[in-house]
Structure formats: C-alpha cells, structure tokens
Amino acid sequence: MYSKGERGVKRVGAFNSSLLSKWCWRMLVDKEGLWYRVLKARYGEEGGRLKEGGRAGSASWRSICSLREGVGEGIANWFNINTRRVVGDGRRTLFWHDIWVGEVPLKFKFLHIFDLSIHKECSVEKMRRMLGAVDGRERLWRRRLLAWEEESVQECSMLLLNIVLQDTVEDTWRWCLDPIHGYSVRGAYRFLTTLDDLADRSQVIDA
C-alpha cells in the first residue's frame, strides 16, 4: 500500500502524463498546424507519426514520444488504447499503421505481409483500390506471394469489404474516454488516477 508521500508523487506523475499526452493528441488531430510542420522538418515522419529524433530531440520531446509509445504512468500503451481512427473517405487513414479496425494496427496483426508490402504508407482508400484491381496486384509486394501468404492478403481484403467509404466525410480521430468532446487533461488524469486507486486496493486485498 502506498504512503501519502508515494501517493502524492504518483498523482504528480499522472498529471504530468496527462499534460504531455495532450501533445500526443494534437499530433494526431492538428497535422496541418505550423508547429507540426516545424517538428516534421526537424525530426521527420514515419508511419504517420513524428520520429523521436534520437539524441537530437530535447528531453521534453523524448518524454512525449516515450509516452506515446507506452512508457509512463498507467497501463502500458494507455494513450493508444484510448484512441481510434474513424474512417470516412479513407484518404487520411493509414492502412497499416493506424488503429482503424480491431484493437491493434494491421502491421502487427499481419506482420509478415506488412514486411513484404511495397506501399507501407498507403491509405485505406488507396489499399482498397489496389487490392480490388484486376491487374497489378503482384506489384504490391516485394516478391510473388506463397499460397499461405495469399490467404493472409485475402483476410486483409475482407476487412476492407466490411468498411463503407464515404466520399464526403473526412477521416477523424476518436478519444474513447470522451468520444464527443475529445481529449482533455482532466479526463486523462481521472483515468490514470483511477488506475492507481484500483492498484492500491488490489495491493490491500493481496496483503
């Protein structure tokens, strides 16, 4: 069980994580902003995400990137767990990298096929067109696929068939803790401190 001092430190950590996560959220919803373009020019972008930049990144920037990758307060990867890509026209949703169907990015669910893919940064809309084309599908991969690999591709194709693209609706991001208003520091802090309280109770019961 935590002492009052330990609990206070954890609450401060949760608050700091909530503040930093606001920037993680902005990196998703405000990619047209000048600040994002400046960071993109400095650190680069891969898989729709700004790179950490290694030693070139400031301590604050590395902290934001670490939190985005699941390091920090609360359960591992808590920020990504609470974000979802809502597909509209499919033009801004990355087929392999974004969580737009299921619970994990498809690059992890179909790791082998992702490794063979030539178009790792393509959108849902573009992948749907390419997989649906009668000719040229073999140009999607670095080599000719084996029979079992073709089965994995067919599974990917089925996911796309279950999605209805809407030409007049842009893709958006949803914050699962508050789907209507989106991310807030208060909501994230409440989520993280609730996890801490549950962990405290579990320790008391175990003792």
Domain residues of the chain, as ranges? 7-82+178-196, 84-175
Long-range contact set of residues 25-30: C-beta below 8 Å, sequence gap at least 24: 25/83, 25/173, 25/175, 25/182, 25/183, 27/68, 28/83, 28/173, 29/173, 29/182
Other C-beta atoms lying within 10 Å of the C-beta of residue 176: 10
Q: Which residues of the chain have pLDDT under 70?
A: 1-10, 71-75, 133-138, 196-207
Predicted pLDDT of residue 57: 78
Q: Are 126 and 92 in contact (CB under 8 A)?
A: no
- Contacts of 145 by beta carbon, 8 Å cutoff, 6+ apart: 116, 153
- For 85, phi then psi, to 5°, come to -90, 125
pLDDT tens digit sequence for 84-110? 999 999 999 999 999 999 888 999 999
Q: What's residue 10's pLDDT?
A: 59
What is the pLDDT at residue 134?
56
Q: How far is CA 40 from the centre of its chain?
A: 17
Q: What local confidence, expressed as pLDDT, does residue 207 receive?
A: 45
By residue count, the chain amounts to 207
pLDDT in tens, 156-168: 888 888 889 999 9
Instruction: Say if residues 185 and 18 touch (Cβ distance below 8 Å).
Output: yes
